[in-house]
């Protein structure tokens, strides 16, 4: 996202100062920023589908799909284009505007990519925006996805550059930035965020948001995940982060990246309605909707519909976004 009014020079101490504000001051500032750019009562709705599940060669300590951990998981090879089309049709019927497809790959090979391109075309034919997350991409692969009509590429930086090596050893933070560069240069919209609750410190949360905000363009979409603790993964049993610190992270993301969609991503199943409501107040304006994320549970759709009614939230339309 490029606009001269957006900052790309955030310093760590400025971001920490935001985190340290009294809670009400921080939320008020974030809500004011939010209202400047969005209808505060509109939420963008995406649905997720795992198109290839498990056996991933990467060792991400949070992830049940890594071959290095022994989480209980139903391994599934690449779905067919028709299976994906059916799921997209269902997602559209239940109110989603974007369909996100995730694959447990370190990087796709060109044969894999051909199938994903066909999936992207099928999902577009069903009238949904498309997002995929396939691991690392080379420049020509990002261009191929763009030519197939892909809208968004999700590639999370997950945590701070300093904490990265404690969570993943099979790739580097710089590898992630390189793929994000290819995606941006191909003209795809970037979706990039991270995970809270992996035993990181507040400074890591600040440095993660700083890395995102100081990219050449703010990501269009910034998913903030709360770690879903899965038995068999190294992070199972780690001390959870205080929910109010999670809300603060959302608020700081909103202030740093005022025009981005901030997604209250994984972890809602373990969150009270009150904490989710605070996240929306702090500037979150996007969620994953549907009873499953990739491999773990998300809230029941009826529960989400009830929450939307209680909070007076509506699915986002184009005119809910103010132009810069």
- Closer CB to ligand SAM, residue 128 or residue 208? 208
Per residue, the 3-state secondary structure of 35-75, as one string, reads: HHHECCCEEEEEEEEEEEECCECCCCCCCCCECCCCCCCCC
Residue 58 binds ligand SF4, judged by CB under 6 A: yes
User: In angstroms, what is the minimal distance from the CB of 105 to ligand SF4?
Assistant: 7
Q: Which of 219, 204, 132 is nearest to 173 (CA)?
A: 204
Active site amino acids: 56, 60, 63, 100, 131, 191, 263
Residue 171 binds ligand SAM, judged by CB under 6 A: no
User: In angstroms, what is the minimal distance from the CB of 102 to ligand DTB?
Assistant: 4
- Closer CB to ligand SF4, residue 104 or residue 316? 104
- Closer CB to ligand SF4, residue 103 or residue 282? 103
The interface partner of residue 295, options being ligand SF4, ligand DTB, ligand SAM, none and the CB cut-off 5 to 8 Å by kind, is ligand DTB
Q: Which of 54, 64, 58 is nearest to 233 (CA)?
A: 64
Residue 135 binds ligand SAM, judged by CB under 6 A: yes
User: In angstroms, what is the minimal distance from the CB of 35 to ligand SAM?
Assistant: 28
Q: Report the distance separating Cα 47 and Cα 288, nearest Å.
A: 5
The interface partner of residue 285, options being ligand SF4, ligand DTB, ligand SAM, none and the CB cut-off 5 to 8 Å by kind, is none
Residue 133 binds ligand SAM, judged by CB under 6 A: yes
- Indicate the length of the chain as a whole number: 324
Residue 47 binds ligand DTB, judged by CB under 6 A: no
Check: CB of residue 275 under 8 Å from CB of residue 246.
yes
Strands (E), the chain: 42-52, 98-103, 129-133, 152-154, 189-191, 194-196, 221-226, 261-264, 286-288, 314-315
Paired tokens of 72: 């209980």
The interface partner of residue 186, options being ligand SAM, ligand SF4, ligand DTB, none and the CB cut-off 5 to 8 Å by kind, is none
Residue 156 binds ligand SAM, judged by CB under 6 A: yes
Paired tokens of 167: 């969570």
Q: Which residues pair with 263 in a beta bridge?
A: 223, 286
Check: CB of residue 191 under 8 Å from CB of residue 218.
no
User: In angstroms, what is the minimal distance from the CB of 183 to ligand SF4?
Assistant: 16
Residue 206 binds ligand SF4, judged by CB under 6 A: no
Q: Which of 148, 33, 56, 45 is nearest to 96 (CA)?
A: 45
Distance in angstroms between the alpha carbons of the first and the last residue of the chain: 10
Q: Which residues pair with 287 in a beta bridge?
A: 45, 264
Q: Name which position in 104, 115, 247, 257 contacts ligand SAM (CB under 6 A).
A: 104
Residue 200 binds ligand SAM, judged by CB under 6 A: no
- Closer CB to ligand SF4, residue 96 or residue 195? 195
The secondary structure of 181-216 as a DSSP string is: HHHHHTTPEEE--EEE-SS--HHHHHHHHHHHHTSS
The residues of the shown chain that bind ligand SAM, judged by CB under 6 A, are 56, 62-63, 102, 104-105, 133, 135, 155-156, 158, 195, 225, 227-228, 230, 266, 294
The residues of the shown chain that bind ligand SF4, judged by CB under 6 A, are 56, 58, 60, 63, 65-66, 104, 135
């Amino acid at each position: 996202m490029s606009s001269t009014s957006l900052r790309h020079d955030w310093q760590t101490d400025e971001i920490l100062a935001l985190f340290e504000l009294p809670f009400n001051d921080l939320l008020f500032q974030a809500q004011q920023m939010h209202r400047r750019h969005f209808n505060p009562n509109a939420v963008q709705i995406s649905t997720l589908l795992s198109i290839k599940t498990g056996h991933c060669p990467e060792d991400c300590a949070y992830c049940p799909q890594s071959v290095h951990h022994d989480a209980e998981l139903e391994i599934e090879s690449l779905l067919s284009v028709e299976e994906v089309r059916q799921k997209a049709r269902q997602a559209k019927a239940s109110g989603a505007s974007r369909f996100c497809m995730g694959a447990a790959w370190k990087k796709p090979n060109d044969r894999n990519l051909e199938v994903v391109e066909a999936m992207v075309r099928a999902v577009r034919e069903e009238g949904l925006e498309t997002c995929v997350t396939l691991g690392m991409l080379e420049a020509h692969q990002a261009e191929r996805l763009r030519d197939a009509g892909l809208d968004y590429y999700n590639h999370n930086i997950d945590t701070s550059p300093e904490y990265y090596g404690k969570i993943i050893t099979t790739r580097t933070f710089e590898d992630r930035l390189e793929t994000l560069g290819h995606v941006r240069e191909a003209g795809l919209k970037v979706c990039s965020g991270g995970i809270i609750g992996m035993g990181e410190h507040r400074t890591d949360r600040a440095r993660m948001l700083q890395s995102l905000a100081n990219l050449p363009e703010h990501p269009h979409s910034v998913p903030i995940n709360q770690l879903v603790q899965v038995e068999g993964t190294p992070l199972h049993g780690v001390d959870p982060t205080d929910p109010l610190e999670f809300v603060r992270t959302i608020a700081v993301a909103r202030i740093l990246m005022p025009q981005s969609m901030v997604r209250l991503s994984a972890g809602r199943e373990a969150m009270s309605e009150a904490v989710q409501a605070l996240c929306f107040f702090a500037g979150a304006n996007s969620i994953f909707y549907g009873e499953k994320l990739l491999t773990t549970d998300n809230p029941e759709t009826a529960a989400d519909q009830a929450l939307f009614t209680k909070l007076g939230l509506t699915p986002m339309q184009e005119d809910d976004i103010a132009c810069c």
